[in-house]
Amino acid sequence: MREEEEPSWFARWEEQLPSPDELMPLSQTLITPDLALAFDIPTTHHHPNPSPNPAPPVPHQSDFESPDLTGGGGAAAANGGDEPARTLKRPRLVWTPQLHKRFVDAVAHLGIKNAVPKTIMQLMSVDGLTRENVASHLQKYRLYLKRMQGLSSSGGGPASGVSHSAEDQLFASAPVPHHFLTRGPATAADPFMSYAPAVAALQHHQMAAAAVAAHQHQYYHQQQQQQQRHLGHFGSPPGNGFADHGFLTRAVGQPGLHRMVGPGGVGIVQTPAPAPPSTAGSYVEDLESGTGGGNRRVLTLFPTNED
DNA sequence: ACAAGAATAT
DNA sequence: GATATTCTTG
């Protein structure tokens, strides 16, 4: 019985998260030279980063290919007032623990069945993040979950040493909701089950997703809904010592940490998209909380120039 | 036509 | 290995 790491790791996993300042250089790397010019953003990427934190050593791409009009619409060639960010190829997205946490958080709030790339992307509210980015990450994340399921329900050896390879380090930085691993066919006794169809219907309105999340932002229970598809029932694994209801509540939803999008010193959030009404940003409850006191709001991959 | 998911490529 | 892109299917 060695669960001494249980209460320890989750208290440290948020400490290891780089400070919000680390996000700035990350975002800058996602700005293409063309985009920087278009937005009049000086490429003076100063790295005031003397911190011992493992900053994402994302090498800046030397150059980018010409804006290839792969849109199939030659008419888009003249993108005078159009956003170049849409046509230009962006550098590879680096999934930092912060981003991954938001990802897991969004998936946890939506539920496995509603956790589709588009919805996840919208809930994450990370400007610049594309559906493709989320889809790719989601694919890998599912493989990771599947791997864990196999190990946990292996039954062959409880002494399964959690040999976390470097590949799992990213995923290990964020707590995995228990219902991700344990497939409970039933447990549909949630009042939020009714919102599920709403989410499906909301896909025409982006703001709905935010509203849903805001509604259930504090309720963390097994949100399961019977799906109409013919998904085989997964044998519910017996109560393995993998699921902890306790830490989930604390890890995902920190009590008293309702950080709404308030007045901040950094107004780097530019919302070119049809900004949702009051509901926008209201659901931002639990951002990564630096132990040193570093809470931020909506993440953005496109920070304006620093003062 | 759009989106999700898997497969494949870089 | 991590992420992007392509391909197929719903």
pLDDT at A70 over 80: no
User: What span, in angstroms and rounded, lies between the C-alpha atoms of A282 and A264?
Assistant: 15
Helix (H), strand (E) at residue A290: strand A289-290
Residue A117 contacts strand B, CB under 7 A: yes
Give the nucleotide nearest to A165 (CA→C1'): C1
**Whole-number distance in Å between A239 CA and C7 C1':** 40
Q: What is the mean pLDDT of residues A242-267?
A: 30
User: What span, in angstroms and rounded, lies between the C-alpha atoms of A270 and A246?
Assistant: 37
Residue numbers in A 179-198, CB below 7 Å of strand B: none
**Whole-number distance in Å between A196 CA and B3 C1':** 18
pLDDT (tens digit per residue) in A88-140: 678 899 999 988 999 998 999 888 788 999 999 999 988 889 999 999 999 99
**Whole-number distance in Å between A299 CA and B10 C1':** 28
pLDDT at A34 over 90: no
**Whole-number distance in Å between A226 CA and C10 C1':** 19
Give the nucleotide nearest to A132 (CA→C1'): C4
Question: Which residues, other chains included, contact A207 with Cβ-Cβ below 8 Å and sequence gap of 6+?
Answer: A276, A277, A279, A280
Residue A89 contacts strand B, CB under 7 A: no
pLDDT (tens digit per residue) in A180-205: 766 544 443 333 333 343 344 334 44
B7 C1': nearest CA residue? A139
Between the CA of residue A119 and those of A54, A114, A198, A203, A286, what are the distances in Å?
30, 7, 12, 8, 18
pLDDT (tens digit per residue) in A280-289: 333 344 444 4
Q: What is the mean pLDDT of residues A75-99?
A: 68
Residue A145 contacts strand B, CB under 7 A: no
Count of other CB atoms within 10 angstroms of residue A217: 17
**Whole-number distance in Å between A23 CA and B8 C1':** 31
- Strand C contacts (Cβ < 7 A) comprise A 89-90, 92-95, 132-133, 135-137, 139-140, 166-167, 170
Q: What is the mean pLDDT of residues A60-88?
A: 44
